[in-house]
Amino acid sequence: MNHLRLRVDGRTFRDPLNREIILRGINVAGDAKYPKTPDLRSHNLQEFFEEDVSFVGRPFSLEDADIHFQRLRKWGYNTIRYIFTWEAIEHAGPRIYDEHWIDFTIGILRIAKQYNFYIFMDPHQDVWSRLSGGSGAPSWTLYAAGLNPKSFKDTQAALVHNTWDNPADFPKMLWCTNYTRLACQTMFTLFWAGRDFAPKAIIDGVNIQDYLQSHFIAACEYLAQRIQNASDLEGEVVIGWESINEPNKGLIGTQDISSIPSEQHLQLGTSPTAFQGMLIGSGWPCKVKTWSFGKFGPYQSGTEVIDPKGEQAWLSTEYDDSQYGWHRDPGWKLGECLWGQHGVWDSSERKPTLLQKDYFSRNPQTGETLDYERFTNTYFLNHYRAYKDALRNVCGTTIMFCQPPVMELPPTLKGTVDDDPNMVHAAHFYDGLTLLTKHWNRLYNLDIVGLLRGKYLAPAFAIKFGEKSIRKILRRQLKFLRDESLQNMGDHPLLFSEIGIPYDMDDKHAYKSGDYRSQVKAMDANHFALEGSKANGFALWAYVAENDHEWGDQWNGEDLSIYSPNDLESPIPTSSHSTRSDSTVCSKDHLINVKEEKASLCKASTPNCTSSNLSQTTLWPQQSYRAVEAFLRPTPIYTNGQLESHAFDLKKCTFTMRLIANQVAPETPSEIYLPDFHFPMGNTSVEVSGGKWEICHQEFHTVKLQYLRWWHGEGTVDIEIRRTKCKHTSREYATLQKLHKTRCMMM
């Protein structure tokens, strides 16, 4: 087993030839969030509370896996963030693992291995569970915590797409607000800190915190053991494991539960305080503020009375715990709010009374005031250590992808015992204004990271005007997060394991017109930011095999998939020949008779090609047009030395790269993924500061990709690759738009 196929070396990834590796990745797949059987896409109303579910067939069938992996390889991706949920493993009940799904997953991983992907496993969650409006944990975890998911709708303990009266009217991005509603707040508080804040919550003799965490970790450990036992996956295709996706602190650190915390930047629809959520969850009516999302973010739009008419979000006293075989301690009463039982508020009188508004503000053991930074360095880190130890117990050399809370300060690990040399910082970033409004605003945007870090005296100063400034501020935010990672976590690679754009912008204008210019600009701006961040890779969100124009990614109205069968197939230039800086044809694996070139600045262009062999424009089978020109871009994959900078100018169709080269073996090149969509044979020029180069194709199973190999000397070296003619003429674009519009009219 080759555990050195990819390794962590300080702040970089390295291959067996000691070349720096950039992970060009994609999340596979968004539809792994919900079961395959029954069909529980989030807009489906039937069978939502069905507990006999199966995720076999997610992210796609074994029969179709080759089609999807071929497509992703053709788009130049070398890395997959493999999405799975805790529910997929343990949906039937505590310690009952779905062996059929695990066997299926191993089968999918084996097919992915043929295409030479690097894969890291992601235990995905959003707002805790499908039953609380997202994905992740099994339904039984909510019952174990004493909650009744069937009452979430009337109590607004969670706003769930599947139970919305008309799923087509579900407000965009409303699901995010579930993080600040009763169900999700309670579950995460119990998961991280039940021992401290809910000591009465004892189940099977242990606190609910230990019960939930131990089952989650054991389920992931079991999956890891099965993958390890497969003998041909761990270390060869599965390079690592990420910690729980987008951890949220719940109520921990809330200074006053009777008001909205200052750090709660997203408010949309009804916005109860945590205390109001507890009251409504116990059957009391409350008048709450409502919010809408405007040009510059959320604004208060009015008020609304939420009246659950006596219904409670908590399980009734008639609930039978024997269904799952656990034993609840008699001191934990069903039919009552768990937080009321711990003295947070008193419902014994006619008018409920808040007793401890600051109950969650301090660590009850130490008295320390809690905020997100302290949460991350205590509760989150304690869990991460246990998760890491369990996985390393199974596969000792696996890379740990540590994902702290999104957009918050990362944990202070540098120079501590947690400064693990085989760890990666996995961060997330989205252009929030574009994501929430589903519109690419060329006039202004916000420096969200700067605002969160207190860089500005007032939010107005965080506004940046003009598309050029918007692109720059996106890049600066990612670069800031990279520098912050080095300062806090130490010398580790940083990978943005989620970043992406909505495709259904402007009320799905592109789907009606075929005009994807806004999506192209947004996607190009995000990649421009990634290229300037000095991160070690990314995993774009997302690939969804079942995406369509009506329901998008089939989950909560999101539509971020770079692929949709509903989109027009795109003309992709392909070729099967090689062009080099000399007259010798390239072989697949090694150099043949490469001529020496001068070390001084030199320039060489590919020779003219006839239409009968090179530079032919053909359709890639089953490849859907979806702003492909913005994400199909050249990337340095293997770099002999220290990568200083790289960038792709989409308008000029020019790629530049600078690196500080080490003393290298003369037969070992740096390699750049060079998509022939932008750089077809016969229409590409290469300028290098020295050395020799070739453009050739590498084969990954059934997929051929165009690469530029560059043999260079030591020191600072530069390369520029550009298309010698216009990348895509306006006439070509207009033709694509016309074809798409015609197809839409025929559907």
List, by residue number, the catalytic residues: 246, 498
- 286-294/297-306 β-pairing: antiparallel
Q: Answer for the pair 216, 88: CB distance below 8 angstroms, yes or no.
A: no
* Residue 9 CB neighbours (<10 A): 13
Q: Enter the DSSP assignment of 530.
A: H
Element (H, E) at 354: strand 353-354
283 φψ region: left (φ > 0), alpha (ψ -120 to 50), beta (else): left
**Structure-derived torsion over alpha carbons of residues 170, 309, 273, 317, reported in degrees to the nearest 10:** -110
Structure tokens at 15: 């291959």
Cα–Cα distances (Å) from 298 to 294, 372, 435, 436, 474, in that order, read 6, 22, 13, 10, 21
The residue behind tokens 């505590």 is: 94
CA atoms within 13 A on the CB side of 596: 4
Which residue type is seen at 684?
T
Question: Which candidate, 678, 677, 669, 676, places its Cα nearest to that of 719?
Answer: 669
- The DSSP bridge partners found for residue 548 are 552
Length of the chain in terms of residues written: 747
Element (H, E) at 67: helix 62-74
At residue 225, the 3 state secondary structure works out as helix
Q: What are phi and psi of 553, to 5 degrees?
A: -80, 10
The residue behind tokens 């509603």 is: 181
Structure tokens at 274: 């945590």
Question: Which candidate, 524, 495, 563, places its Cα nearest to that of 652?
Answer: 524
Structure tokens at 490: 């130490």
CA atoms of 693 and 709, how far apart (whole Å) = 5
Q: Residue 363 contacts by C-beta under 8 Å, 6 or more apart in sequence?
A: 196, 370, 374, 378
Which residue type is seen at 65?
A
Q: Answer for the pair 743, 570: CB distance below 8 angstroms, yes or no.
A: no
The residue behind tokens 């990420």 is: 242
The residue behind tokens 């808040």 is: 354
At residue 27, the 3 state secondary structure works out as strand
CA atoms of 674 and 695, how far apart (whole Å) = 8
CA atoms of 175 and 181, how far apart (whole Å) = 10
Q: Answer for the pair 430, 445: CB distance below 8 angstroms, yes or no.
A: no
Q: Answer for the pair 283, 312: CB distance below 8 angstroms, yes or no.
A: yes
Cα–Cα distances (Å) from 594 to 576, 590, 711, in that order, read 20, 10, 10
Helix, strand, coil percent content, the chain, rounded in steps of 5: 30, 25, 45
